[in-house]
Amino acid sequence: MYRPFGILLCFVGSVLLLACSSKLDTGNLNMENWKSDRYGCEGLRIQDLEELQRIKNTFLGANNQALIKTFGRPDRVELVDKSQSFFFYFLEPSIQCDGVKIEKEPLRILFRMNAISKVSEVNITTQNP
C-alpha cells in the first residue's frame, strides 16, 4: 500500500541529488579555455595536459552531471552496454574540426561511467574503448 509512495520518494530524492551536483575541483586547469575549445580544435585544452594528468584521478566517483557542469557537454558520448558509457573530451583536434587534416587518432580524456553514472575510470589516451 505504501510501496508506490516509497518509489516516488526515492525517485524525487535521486532527481534532487543529481540537480544539486556541483562543479568539480579542476586545480589549475584553465576552464575558460577548456570550454571554448570544443573538440580540441583551437589547441587550448592540450596546454593543460600536465595539470590534467596530475588531477585526473580526483574525478573518480564523480557523477555524470558534475562532469557536465565542470567540463561542459562531452565532445562524444559512447554507450557500450546498459552498464557503462564513456564521455570523451578531445585534447587535440578531432575530425569535427574544420580545415584540420587528421593523420592519427587525437589525444583525449576518457571518462568511463558505470551503471549508476559515476566515473569508474579516467584515461588520457588516443585509443578508443
By the 8 A CB rule, do 37 and 49 touch? no
Average the pLDDT over 80-100 and give the result. 92
pTM for this predicted structure: 0.80
- What residue spans define the domains of the chain? 23-125
What cell does 106 get? Answer: 587525437
23-125 sits in which CATH class?
alpha beta
Nearest residue to 90 (alpha-carbon basis) of 79, 81, 104: 104
Average the pLDDT over 69-77 and give the result. 96
Q: Which residues pair with 29 in a beta bridge?
A: none
What cell does 76 get? Answer: 562524444
Instruction: Give per-residue pLDDT as tens, 2-50.
Output: 455 444 444 444 444 445 678 888 889 999 999 999 999 999 999 999 9
Average the pLDDT over 87-107 and give the result. 92
pLDDT greater at residue 7 or residue 70: 70
